[in-house]
Amino acid sequence: MIWRVSDDDIEALGQLIVANSAGAVSGHVVAHGELTVTTTAHHLIDVLTNLRDNPDFQFQQLIDLCGADYPQRAFRFDVVYHLLSMTKNRRVRLKIETDEDTPVPSVVGVYPCADWFEREAFDMYGVFFSGHPDLRRLLTDYGFHGHPMRKDFPMTGYVEVRYDDQLKRVIYEPVKSVEFRSWDFLSPWEGAGYAKPGQGYGYELPGDEKAEKAS
């Protein structure tokens, strides 16, 4: 049997976290059975330390740290910390906002496993973490420019890699423009024609034309 924490219990936990934060936690929300609390970069270390060490919370494990990009905002990035309490069977998500130039305090001193998580967020989003012991790229190649998970980064990237048989080495060169195929996303077949509007869809699926001829 799977034991599920009720939304009332999650709401009570959110209120308790806010009450015990001395104003460091600015708010909380419960959605889809999950608790999310918000703070600022200035209070981040204090809030995480309290969530880890307070007997009422005991979030001993940082299970993930990730980023999210909202280019329309002045502080375009969310840095999201997912915490787990194994003793109390609880989870909480902590979020802060930052921009491309404002560093976020590294939490390696609170959760040592944040080392690689922060390097990944730096590599993918360009979020800087002050006090990190070794803030280098983690997933992209040497000399890579840009941050692939940003919304304004092109899906094809800026350069492509191939092995040059004459030079006998791997070379980098600008991405060549490629024509995109004309796909009809309602149909698994390429080039399905447009037809008169039908029942619930405006396309003629392969095979439908046979039924029209038979009728």
pLDDT by 10s per residue, the chain, length 215: 445 678 889 999 999 999 999 999 999 999 988 999 999 999 999 999 999 999 999 999 999 999 999 999 999 999 999 999 999 999 999 999 999 999 999 999 999 999 999 999 999 999 999 999 999 999 998 888 899 999 988 887 888 888 999 999 988 888 876 555 555 555 555 555 554 445 555 555 555 555 555 55
200-209: b or e for each residue (b if 16 or more CB lie within 10 Å)?
A: eeebbeeeee
Q: Is the CB of residue 108 less than 8 Å from the CB of residue 114?
A: yes
What pLDDT is attached to residue 88? 92
Nearest-CA neighbor of 92 among 28, 6, 49, 2?
28
Q: How many residues does the chain have?
A: 215
Cα–Cα distance for residue pair 25/27, rounded to 1 Å: 6
Laid out side by side, the sheet with 61-69 consists of: 27-31, 34-38, 90-98, 77-85, 61-69
pTM for the complete prediction? 0.77
Nearest-CA neighbor of 42 among 96, 112, 80?
96
